[in-house]
Structure 1
Amino acid sequence: MKIPKWIREIECFSKIKSCIILEGNIYDEYPIFNEKKTECEDFYDLNSYVYEYYKKMGYNICYYDMINGFYNKQKQAELIDVFDSMYNQYSVDTFEEQYKEYKDNQDEKRTDGQIANSIAINYFDASEVIKTTLIESDRPTIFCVNYASRILTEPSHMSEQERAVFSNYLYASMNAKSNYGNDGITRQNILILIVDKINDIPTWFYLDNPYVKNIMITLPDKHVRKLYLDCYYDYFIDDEENEKDIQQFIDMTEGMKILDLRGIREFKRLGEITSGQLNDVISLYKYGIKENPWDDIEREKLENNKIKDRIKGQDVAVEKSISIIKRAKTGFSGLQHSSASKPKGILFFAGPTGTGKTELAKAIAELLFGDEGACRRFDMSEYSESHSAQKLFGAPPGYVGYESGGQLTNTIKEHPFSLLLFDEVEKASPTIWDKFLQILEDGRMTDGQGNTVYFSECLIVFTSNLGIYQDVGGVKKRVVDMNMSYNELNKVVTKGIQDYFFSKGKPEVLNRIGKNLIVFNFIQPEAAKEILFSQINKICKAVYSMKKIRIEFRNDIVKEKLYQKVLTNLEEGGRGVGNIVEEYFTTPLSTYVFDNRIENGQTIIIEDITGLNSDESELEMPKIIASLERN
């Protein structure tokens, strides 16, 4: 049976260290094993774990915290065993009175795990008692200080009393007495400090101190989660659920605490999910009661594929994106991987500027979630500095912005079902990819505040212009052009992306993206015509909607002239088409409406637009030549 590393360290170092600092996952439950380490007997909280383990080793255990003072909620009489033989050696006046009251009113009847009685005492006087006991007591004694992180206001700026408390702890750990029992085993008195993290206490207390051992309690790995499942098997597993469901449960609870598993167990027992399926119960626990948009996606939406009506000239990219969405919809995403909490899908859009990468991401969000606003866009040029990861994932405690959390993690907390668009990722700091790797692999991330957020219901889209330019002697040189076939363009861009990630030392990113790299083609003439006419029609409809003014063309000659102008600017893609439309249609149209005081109910019939011909002066502002009719 695999025993967690931190448990093995406690067993090992309790024999030679007089002070043990426990940090990390301290607010949880932990497995207790039988004497031969062949079976997990149950799961206990940390205080109960300390009691059960050290009691078997022959110790008396006393707990202390600033709220309750001294106590032992497992067996109150043990405090009397700890202090009785030392009673005359304590120099703390208030302790004598409190101890007498405790001894006279000890109550062994309470069995609900709460503290029935305690010896109230302030943390400085308590440190004096702990010091004296650990140094002088002939009875093997453990003092376990709970909430030790809360003793100090600021470890680097301690008050005199705070410094005195840890000085007492330091002196006690360096002079703790060793006791030789009748069994011939040496038992050294031990001080245990339970902290959220090691830097909550002064560094001079533990740094280079051979008497102190710091032990990190980690989140339960899959072996420990399986042990918990085995302990409470009947609460989790129904008759119709099989071994595959058990393995999926273990995978889906990656990063969770045992207390989280207990919450899931209670949800299932109480029947909060009518289906009773473990996957549904886990989803409820992770995200709360939410409608799952993935379940509401109508089959007809994907079959009709109306995205092609919006994204012109990128049929290959659209078809490949839709296939990945279908895979996510059917729940087949990531079946070949061990982790069941990966994002729903990962798309990496690459290619020339203005070819529809961002627009396709928005179209997918509208298709999936019925709202383009479900596309949560992050402009990665804002995260170019090495410390930018803090903006996305939250600053650690003690740093500016810690309270506000991370921009990305906050977004996922509020909108777990989203399309996350990371635009122009090549402009982000390479250090951010270390964080992205965890999201792409595990589908989760712990923010600066220690909260775990889950990305398993998200579709993640990266866009990039990588592979379009090559750095030659410090100068960016374009390595693709309009005359390339799509296959040739695809090879050049793909190689450019591979070279980039290898040069940054991030080849594993390519492994996570896999075959989801989609290269967009240059906007071809036919697609440019479709985009042009689509934008003109959109403008005409918007003008009528706002002003009740109709826009018509006398014939197709003007549109053809606009199209010929667009062909001179194809390398800028769809964005270039939009620029032409704005300069030669939208702007002169607004000027015409303003100068001629066009009123509601009129129709503008466009005869011509000056400035479109190549022989006309480029300095001349384009003008619309039109006639008016009353509707």
Structure 2
Amino acid sequence: MATAVRVVLNPQRRSPQAAALLETLQARVIGQRQALERVVDTYQTLLAGLNSRQRPLANFLFLGPTGSGKTHVVETLAEALFHSPQALIKVDCAEFQHSHEIAKLVGSPPGYLGHRETHPVLTQEAIDQHQTPEVPMSLVLFDEIEKASDALWQLLLGILDKATLTLGDNRHVSFARCMIFLTSNLGAGEMQSLMQAGLGFAPAGAGQEATLTGSVRHRLEAAAVAAAKRKFSPEFFNRLDHVVVFQPLDAAQLEQVLDLELNAVQARLAETQADGKQEPVQFRCTPAARAALLGEGTDLKFGARHLKRAIERRLVTPLASLLATHQVGNCDRIVVDSIAGVEGLSFLREAVARR
């Protein structure tokens, strides 16, 4: 009689494709590990073929303060899967604050004024346009869902539950191979109040900013979820598979975001000056310059929302001026500094010793 041998399995292990996707996302998105892991788990379910055919792949609600990366996660996922951050269907819900504006999404029924002129956004062709044999799925983002009218929420009930939508001309659209993302700032005010009260902050050492402790993070999460439940009906909320609260970025994470943005500027310099003969202009920011950019572009409450604009204004525009006026050229090294008493950043060309 054969003896059964039991082998311990590891359901936490990820496939090479899923592990590679998680690694890519973590390299481009700072913090928010919970959101990234939930997204990658959904992707692995699709790869295994165990996704439901009667529902979307997953329905996500991303909550949290502005500048914490909710939309950035979805755009980064699109770039990782389809090589473009625009490879998704994005619905700006602020444009649908009145019920009649829903016609822009589904089209007007036959016989209504403007029926032939109104081309629906959510057609099957639009949903499927970015799918490939390697990645047979689509990403649909409803940004700032709390700003939409009740009519859009009602429209979403069928999509989130049965993965189907009927257009104005009675065509049917399937969302069965879609990850659907809803983002919202609901609860951001309550979260800011908790942070301003100083609850749960770890004491800052000399020259360091305070960071959030675990206890306040739990309170922030509870505040955001409670605000969402007050806003949305139970039947809407129960159709969500994952509710993820994006935590405010702490000082160390904001430093990492700055590194990513500065690397992106250096890459732009390399692209515009690439002639295959000489090295492009390179720059480095001193600690004082980094502190100045972070001070203007970020804070613990509002995250990194304004960091890109601060970098464009304080770093990119002056660099463009230096290039356009031929004060710097290929192979030059620039030191970017912040000097007390001097407005803005200071730019110094660094002499390189020739051997």
Q: Distance between the aligned counterparts of 1:579 and 1:542, measured in 2?
A: 16
Q: Which residue of 1 aligns with 2:324?
A: 594
Partner of 1:194: none
Which position in structure 2 is the counterpart of 1:309?
27
Please report how far the alpha carbon of residue 566 of structure 1 lies from its aligned counterpart in structure 2 after TM superposition: 5.6
Match in the other structure for 2:169 = 449
Aligned residue type for 1:439: I
479 and 325 in structure 1: CA distance in 2 versus 1, 3 angstrom threshold: farther
CA distance in 2, matches of 1:415, 1:307: 19
CA contact (8 A) 1:528 1:566 kept: no
Q: 2:55 is matched by which residue type in structure 1? A: K
Deviations 1:328-358 (A, max 9, x none): 3334344xxxxx4211111111101111111
Task: State yes or no: 1:433 paired with 2:121.
Answer: no
Mapped pair 1:382 → 2:105? no
Q: Secondary structure at the match of 1:408?
A: coil
C-alpha deviation, 1:622, in angstroms: 3.8
Match of 2:189 among 466, 469, 473: 469
- The match for 2:245 among 494, 519, 527 is 519
What pairs up with 1:421-570 in 2 under 5 angstroms? 421-469=141-189, 478-481=192-195, 483=201, 485-501=216-232, 506-514=233-241, 516-548=242-274, 549-553=280-284, 556-562=286-292, 565=295, 569-570=299-300
For the residue of structure 2 that corresponds to 1:374, the secondary structure is coil
Q: CA deviation at 1:478?
A: 4.7
Match in the other structure for 1:31: none
8 A Cα contact 1:532 1:581, kept in partner: no
Give the Cα separation in 1 of the matches to 2:87 and 2:270: 28
Structure 1 residues 625 and 413: alpha-carbon distance in aligned structure 2, compared to 1, 3 A threshold: closer
The structure with more radius of gyration: 1
SS at 1:536's partner residue?
Answer: helix
Structure 1 Cα separation of the partners of residues 194 and 92 of structure 2: 24
- The percent identity for this pair of structures is 26
Q: 1:319 aligns with which of 33, 37, 42?
A: 37
The alpha-carbon distance between structure 1 residues 481 and 528, as it changes in their structure 2 partners (threshold 3 A), is same
Match of 1:624 among 331, 347, 352: 347
One-letter amino acid of the counterpart of residue 469, structure 1: G
1:419-441 C-alpha deviation (Å, 9 max, x unpaired): 00111111111111111101111
- Measure, in 2, the Cα distance between the counterparts of 1:597 and 1:325: 49
Q: 1:409 aligns with which of 123, 132, 136?
A: 123
Does the C-alpha gap of structure 1 residues 604 and 513 become closer, same or farther in structure 2, counting only changes over 3 Å? same
Deviation at 1:303, TM superposition (A): 1.2
TM-score, normalised by the number of residues in structure 1: 0.45
Q: For residues 313 and 258 of structure 2, what CA distance do their matches in structure 1 show?
A: 13
Rounded to whole Å, the distance in 1 between the matches of 2:287 and 2:130 is 48
SS of 1:431's partner is helix
Give 2:262's aligned amino acid.
Answer: I
CA contact (8 A) 2:62 2:181 kept: yes
Distance in 2 between residues matched to 1:521 and 1:490, nearest whole Å: 8
Q: Which runs of structure 2 are paired with 1:50-199 in the superposition (5 Å)?
A: none
Separation in 2, partners of 1:415, 1:541: 26
- Residues 526-560 of structure 1: CA deviation (Å, up to 9, x unaligned): 1111111121122112112202432133x743454
Structure 2 equivalent of residue 94 of structure 1: none
SS in structure 2 of the partner of residue 359 of structure 1: helix
Distance across 2 between alignment mates of 1:322 and 1:413: 20
Matched, 1:353 2:66: yes
Alpha-carbon distance in structure 2 between the residues aligned to 1:552 and 1:321: 36
Instruction: Specify the alignment match of 2:312 in structure 1.
Output: 582
Q: CA deviation digits over 1:401-424, x for unaligned, max 9? A: 322431122623655742001111
Distance 2:29 2:50 in 1: 26
Structure 1: distance between partners of 2:294 and 2:163: 48
Does structure 2 retain, via aligned residues, the 8 Å contact 1:524–1:570? Answer: yes
Letter in 2 for 1:303: A
Moved more, 581-590 or 539-548: 581-590
8 A contact 1:365–1:371 mirrored in 2:
yes
What is the Cα deviation at residue 510 of structure 1?
A: 0.4
1:495-517 per-residue CA deviation (whole Å, 9 max, x = no partner) reads: 0100111xxxx221100004x01
| Matches of 2:33 and 2:56, distance apart in 1 | 25
The one-letter amino acid of 2:337's match is D
Residues 348, 463 of structure 1: 8 Å contact kept: yes
- d(CA) in 2 for partners of 1:528, 1:469: 21
CA RMSD of aligned residues (A): 2.8
Q: CA deviation at 1:397?
A: 1.2
* Unmatched runs of 5 consecutive residues or more in structure 1: 1-297, 335-339, 471-476
Question: 3-state DSSP class of the match of 2:180?
Answer: strand
Higher RCO (CA-CA < 8 Å; seq separation 6+): 2
Q: Structure 1, residues 357-416: CA drift from partner, whole Å, max 9, x if none?
A: 111101222334444332221111111112121111111112233224311226236557
Measured after TM superposition, the shift of residue 301 of structure 1 is 3.0
Letter of the aligned partner of 1:464 in structure 2?
S
SS in 2 for 1:349: strand
Q: Is the 8 A contact 2:258 2:294 kept in 1?
A: no
CA gap of 1:591–1:324, structure 2 versus 1, over 3 A, is same
- Counterpart residue type for residue 412 of structure 1: I
1:397 aligns with 2:120: no
Q: Quick check: 2:25–2:36 contact (8 Å CA) kept in 1?
A: yes
Give the 3-state SS of the residue equivalent to 1:355 in structure 2. Answer: coil
Distance 2:321 2:189 in 1: 39
Query: How far apart are the structure 2 equivalents of 1:596 and 1:500?
Result: 56
Q: Secondary structure at the match of 2:99?
A: coil
User: Partners in 2 of 1:388 and 1:607 — Cα distance?
Assistant: 48
Structure 2, gaps ≥5 residues long: 1-13, 132-136, 202-211, 275-279
> Secondary structure at 2:259's aligned position in 1?
helix
Opposite residue 317 of structure 2, the aligned amino acid is T
Aligned length: 310
- Aligned pair partner of 1:605 in 334, 342, 346: 334
